Amino acid sequence: MKALFLDRDGVTIDYIPYLSRPEQVSLPEGAGKALKQWQNEGYKLVIVTNQSGISRGYFSEEDVKAIHQRIIEEYRRFGVEFDEILMCPHQPSDNCQCRKPSPSLILNYTKKHDIDLSQSLFIGDAPSDIQCAFNAGCQPVLLLTGRGKETKEKLSESQSSIPIFENLSATVTLAIVTKNIVKYNIN
């Protein structure tokens, strides 16, 4: 099995810092259609998100559940089904094991679901997403939505060859062209 791991804020939904209410959820243009195509190519769709706003007391775990329910419903209109939404609720001072760039959420998921990481990708907009992909051993992809433009400026030399796309919609070419993986330089 192969998976497409997706960051939430700035990738799967439009970027709003510390978004706390379902009404704030909006899908980027073309995102529903794009994820449907990835799904059709045989990828399990998995959101991987840091939500330190929970630990910081900005919103509750219940609030986040309601937001995730909204995301699931919005994408369902396009026939898109997420396999799982993996979340770290901590802030850095909690010293947890799960906060991106730690790969542990991804590694736990792949163990349970028999996912081949060498066939899998992680699409993100933040340095922690790119580093998480490297740490997990899957293909990092950077989007220029959300915090992506800033992140692009911060890529290290070893990360400079990763694929970069304007938005989620544009990544579909990657799903179709690279049926048998993408061998961009990941090291």
Based on the shown chain and the rule CB under 5 A, indicate whether residue 74 belongs to the binding site for Mg ion.
no
Based on the shown chain and the rule CB under 5 A, indicate whether residue 10 belongs to the binding site for Mg ion.
yes
d(CA 75, CA 59): 23
Give exposure, 97-121, as e/b (b: 16+ Cβ within 10 Å).
ebbbbbbbbbeebbeeeebebebbb
Please report the DSSP string for 16-72 in residue order: -TT--SGGG--PPTTHHHHHHHHHHTTEEEEEEEE-HHHHTTSS-HHHHHHHHHHHH
Kindly indicate which of the ranges 22-30, 103-111, 126-134, 171-179 contains the residues binding Mg ion, using the contact rule CB under 5 A: 126-134
Our answer to whether residue 7 is catalytic in this structure is: yes
Contact pattern for Zn ion over residues 73 through 92, marking x by CB under 5 A: ---------------x-x--
CB of residue 5 to Mg ion, shortest distance in Å: 12
Exactly one of 125, 131, 174, 175 binds Mg ion (CB under 5 A); that residue is 125
Mapping DSSP to helix (H, G, I), strand (E, B) and coil, where does residue 182 land?
Answer: coil
Exactly one of 4, 6, 9, 98 binds Mg ion (CB under 5 A); that residue is 9
Instruction: Give me the half-sphere count of Cα atoms (radius 13 Å) on the Cβ side of residue 128.
Output: 16
Our answer to whether residue 9 is catalytic in this structure is: yes
Strand partners, 122: 5, 140
Query: Out of Zn ion, Mg ion, none, which partner does residue 10 contact, by CB within 5 to 8 A per kind?
Result: Mg ion
Based on the shown chain and the rule CB under 5 A, indicate whether residue 100 belongs to the binding site for Zn ion.
no
Site residues for Mg ion, 140-179, by CB under 5 A, read: 146
Which residues of the shown chain bind Mg ion in the complex (CB under 5 A)?
7, 9-10, 125-126, 146
